[in-house]
């Protein structure tokens, strides 16, 4: 029995010696490597600063409508630029609330495979506090935003205020490396802050279905926003206000359409990415032809049949400037007034001189204007337009000054009448039609038949003179 016990003791000592030898560093047995798809974590801390031309944060908008500050609850979403297995969520360090730069974010990175190298490129995304604009997966990965900040907001992504838009749709992005542990964020969302003043009879509290689109003047439009916007009162005026967040893209010539109101274009305005809080104010209302009054003489009639102060004002509203109001009244065979074209009628490459038939055709076949009818002016039309623009003559007189009409044409962006002869539609019998003679600023009226006391020259139809159309409305 003693011999047996001694044997067991010897075996136990031998086993202990063997185990001790196996744990020696020089003879360690490698532990099997973790599977490559196993998720591992590593602590990660970064500092965040400003960058670009609108690089701040997004939680609180200062009164300058540009400066944004970090706030409690801010999260920085990290992902690998070329390694999809690297991602993580960092949160703002306590005590850094209110900072605009050099804030610290702490957390962990997840990865599979090897630990990221110091030069591994990472991307950081900071989104709005009440984020609606960027898709975040349940494990903290950012979707549908590339390194350039490209994403497409839904066309109902509008807000009532800039602060609300920032909290919901702000999108700041930066790229750096794992070893740098520092990011310089740049705003990749532009906010268009629309304030539209309505000067017609629209009441405060009216809700409009409002559409914002961009593109050319044809049919190649991109619809950016569809919203129900309710008007309010500010400074005694009725205004419609809303904010549209835009992704990293160029917006060309945006147009706002409010119900059946005249579209409001922002012609010549190209809005680049990273522009923060682009604010436009637009006076909305323009009269239709049937509301024209004497004080509107000298203003422009647009192709849409509405009245604008100048040619450029009409064009800024994306309508063609067609004529200038020269007379308001019911005489001269018009129900409300007359407007004259801004330039002479032209056929082919001829500058001014055309036959009567050519003049009559060109005047009657101009592009239609809502609420008006084109024609070659009669003797009476010319007389009323001269008088309407300030000529001292009378309808029954024989001479008028062209100065008033020409002055208003120039102010409105048109071309003044030439010192030459212009056709009228008044027939003097047979192939003879009227024309007026402008010489040294005076419209001379002579009669071709002293018994009939015609106020204009009569001339054969094939003679070549200048011509202008008038719009009767």
* The pLDDT of residue 262: 67
Q: Does residue 29 sit within a domain?
A: no
The residue range of the domain holding 341 is: 289-472
Residue 300 has pLDDT above 80, yes or no: yes
**pLDDT tens-digit series, residues 98-114:** 888 899 999 999 999 99
The pair of three-digit structure tokens given for residue 217, joined into one six-digit string: 């003047």
Residue 55 has pLDDT above 70, yes or no: no
Residue 251 makes CB contacts below 8 A (sequence gap 6+) with 190, 192, 214, 224, 270, 271
Residue 367 has pLDDT above 70, yes or no: yes
CA triplet 21, 22, 23: central angle to 5 degrees?
90
Q: Are residues 261 and 296 in the same domain?
A: no
Q: Are residues 273 and 293 in the same domain?
A: no
Q: Does residue 258 sit within a domain?
A: yes
Question: Which whole number is the average pLDDT over 125-145?
Answer: 86
Q: Are residues 173 and 197 in the same domain?
A: no
- Per DSSP, what are the bridge partners of residue 105? 46, 92
Q: Residue length, the chain?
A: 473
Q: Are residues 86 and 202 in the same domain?
A: no
Q: Are residues 422 and 297 in the same domain?
A: yes
Q: Are residues 303 and 323 in the same domain?
A: yes
158-167, 178-187, 268-277, 373-382: segment of lowest average pLDDT: 268-277
Q: Are residues 220 and 264 in the same domain?
A: yes
Q: Are 306 and 262 in contact (CB under 8 A)?
A: yes
Q: What DSSP string describes 270-338? A: EE-TT---EEEEEE----BGGG--GGGTTPEEETTSBEESSHHHHHHTT--EEEEEEEESSTTT-SSEE
- Per DSSP, what are the bridge partners of residue 465? 354
pTM of the model: 0.56
Q: Does residue 33 sit within a domain?
A: no
* Mean model confidence pLDDT for the chain: 79
The residue among 227, 256, 283 that closes a domain is: 283
**pLDDT tens-digit series, residues 61-77:** 666 666 778 889 899 99
**pLDDT tens-digit series, residues 333-364:** 999 999 999 999 988 766 678 999 999 999 99
Q: Does residue 13 sit within a domain?
A: no
Q: Are residues 319 and 411 in the same domain?
A: yes
Q: Are 436 and 458 in contact (CB under 8 A)?
A: no
Please compute, for residue 266, the number of CA atoms within 13 A of its CA located in the half-sphere on the CB side: 22
What is the domain-level CATH number for residue 224? 2.60.40
* The pLDDT of residue 347: 81
Residue 9 has pLDDT above 60, yes or no: no
Q: Are residues 136 and 268 in the same domain?
A: no
Q: Does residue 2 sit within a domain?
A: no
Q: Are residues 168 and 230 in the same domain?
A: no
Residue 231 makes CB contacts below 8 A (sequence gap 6+) with 198, 202, 203, 204, 205, 206, 207, 208, 238, 239, 240
Q: Does residue 30 sit within a domain?
A: no
Q: Domain tally for the chain?
A: 3
The residue among 239, 264, 283 that closes a domain is: 283
Residue 2 has pLDDT above 70, yes or no: no
Question: Which whole number is the average pLDDT over 266-290?
Answer: 57
Q: Are residues 324 and 448 in the same domain?
A: yes
Q: Does residue 421 sit within a domain?
A: yes
The pair of three-digit structure tokens given for residue 437, joined into one six-digit string: 């003679």
Please, is 108 exposed, middle or buried when counting C-beta atoms within 10 Å of its C-beta (0-12, 13-18, 19+)? Answer: middle
- Per DSSP, what are the bridge partners of residue 442? 401, 439
Most confident of 49-53, 348-352, 424-428: 424-428
Q: Does residue 10 sit within a domain?
A: no
- Report how far residue 159's alpha carbon sits from residue 268's, in angstroms, rounded to the nearest whole number: 25
Q: Are residues 319 and 391 in the same domain?
A: yes
The residue among 266, 283, 300 that closes a domain is: 283
């Amino acid at each position: 029995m003693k011999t047996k016990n001694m044997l067991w003791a010897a075996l136990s000592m031998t086993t202990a010696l063997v185990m001790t030898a196996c744990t020696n560093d020089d003879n360690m047995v490698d532990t099997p490597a973790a599977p490559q798809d196993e998720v591992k974590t590593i602590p990660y801390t970064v500092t965040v600063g400003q960058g670009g031309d609108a690089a701040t944060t997004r939680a609180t908008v200062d009164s300058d409508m540009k400066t944004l500050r970090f706030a409690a609850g801010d999260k920085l979403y990290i992902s690998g630029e070329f390694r999809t297995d690297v991602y993580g969520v960092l949160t703002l360090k306590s005590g850094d609330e209110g900072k605009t730069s050099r804030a610290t974010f702490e957390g962990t990175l997840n990865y599979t495979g090897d630990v990221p190298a110091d030069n591994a490129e990472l991307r950081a995304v900071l989104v709005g506090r009440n984020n609606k604009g960027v898709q975040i997966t349940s494990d903290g990965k950012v979707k549908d935003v590339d390194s350039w900040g490209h994403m497409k907001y839904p066309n109902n992504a509008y807000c009532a205020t800039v602060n609300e838009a920032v909290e919901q749709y702000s999108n700041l992005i930066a790229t750096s490396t794992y070893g740098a542990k520092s990011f310089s964020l740049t705003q990749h969302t532009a906010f268009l802050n629309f304030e539209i003043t309505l000067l017609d009879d629209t009441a405060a509290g009216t809700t409009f279905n409002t559409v914002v689109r961009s593109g050319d003047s044809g049919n190649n439009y991109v619809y950016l926003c569809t919203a129900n916007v309710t008007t309010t009162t500010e400074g005694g005026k009725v205004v419609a206000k809303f904010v549209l967040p835009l992704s990293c893209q160029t917006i060309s010539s945006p147009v706002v359409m409010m119900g059946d109101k005249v579209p409001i274009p922002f012609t010549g305005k190209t809005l680049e990415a990273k522009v923060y809080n682009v604010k436009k104010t637009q006076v909305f209302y323009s009269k239709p032809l049937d509301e024209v009054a004497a004080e509107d003489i000298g203003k422009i009639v647009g192709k849409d049949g509405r009245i604008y102060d100048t040619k450029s004002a009409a064009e800024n509203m994306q309508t063609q400037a067609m004529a200038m109001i020269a007379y308001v009244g019911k005489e001269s065979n018009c129900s409300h007034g007359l407007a004259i074209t801004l330039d002479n009628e032209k056929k082919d490459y001829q500058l001014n001189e055309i036959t009567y038939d050519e003049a009559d055709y060109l005047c009657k076949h101009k592009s239609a204007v809502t609420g008006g009818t084109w024609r070659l002016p009669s003797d009476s039309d010319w007389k009323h337009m001269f008088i309407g623009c300030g000529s001292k003559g009378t309808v029954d007189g024989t001479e008028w000054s062209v100065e008033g009409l020409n002055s208003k044409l120039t102010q409105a962006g048109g071309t003044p009448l030439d010192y030459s002869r212009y056709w009228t539609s008044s027939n003097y019998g047979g192939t003879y039609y009227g024309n007026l003679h402008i010489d040294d600023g005076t419209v001379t009226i002579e009669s071709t038949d002293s018994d009939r006391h015609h106020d204009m020259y009569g001339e054969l139809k094939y003679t070549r003179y200048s011509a202008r159309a008038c719009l009767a409305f």
